[in-house]
Amino acid sequence: METQQIYRGRLIDHIQLVVADIAASKKFYQAVFGAIGIPMGGEADDYFWADELFVSSVSSKAAAGVLTGRTHLAFQANDRATVERFHTVALAAGGKDQGAPGERPYHPGYYAAFVLDPDGNNIEVVHHGPASKSADAIKITF
């Protein structure tokens, strides 16, 4: 995947999270990005980034000394196995369970898992695929 490619016509160009503990966040997001196949784009002592997500410490020049509030981010997965891998590695990397992998009632085939990152951001990985006839929808609150 090209990490420096510019995309035009998207609703969101990029997102910045300002975190309390850059080392804990880097450990968490490196695990998440690895699970979903997204390479790290770059890093320094007070920030790192991948694709359109930029994460910095509160002391970073880019942060202006203010933490971001609680955010919900959803990353796309190519399949259900990736959703399941995300959930496992994110928990092992310091995340808190916010919803185990499973179908959700948002639309047929919406298969997702949710984990809170070290700053309490609600991180989701979702696969939009065919619905399972045997799976029960799992309710999740944001």
Q: Compute the mean pLDDT over every residue in the chain, rounded to the nearest whole number.
A: 89
pLDDT band with cut points at 50, 70 and 90 for residue 27: very high
pLDDT of residue 61: 87
In three-state secondary structure terms, 22 is helix
Domain boundaries, the chain: 15-128
pLDDT of residue 135: 47
Tens digits of residue pLDDT in 29-71: 999 999 999 999 999 999 999 999 999 999 998 888 889 999 9
Instruction: Name the architecture of domain 15-128.
Output: Roll (3.10)
The mean per-residue pLDDT over the stretch 15-22 comes to 96
Under a CB-based contact definition with an 8 Å cutoff, are residues 23 and 55 in contact? no
Tens digits of residue pLDDT in 82-107: 999 999 999 999 999 999 999 999 99
Q: Is the pTM of this model over 0.75?
A: yes
pLDDT of residue 62: 80
Pick the closest to residue 125 from 139, 88, 137 (CA basis): 88
Question: Token digits for 1?
Answer: 């995947």
Residue 128 to residue 142: CA distance in whole angstroms: 19
Is the model's pLDDT at 1 over the cut of 50? no
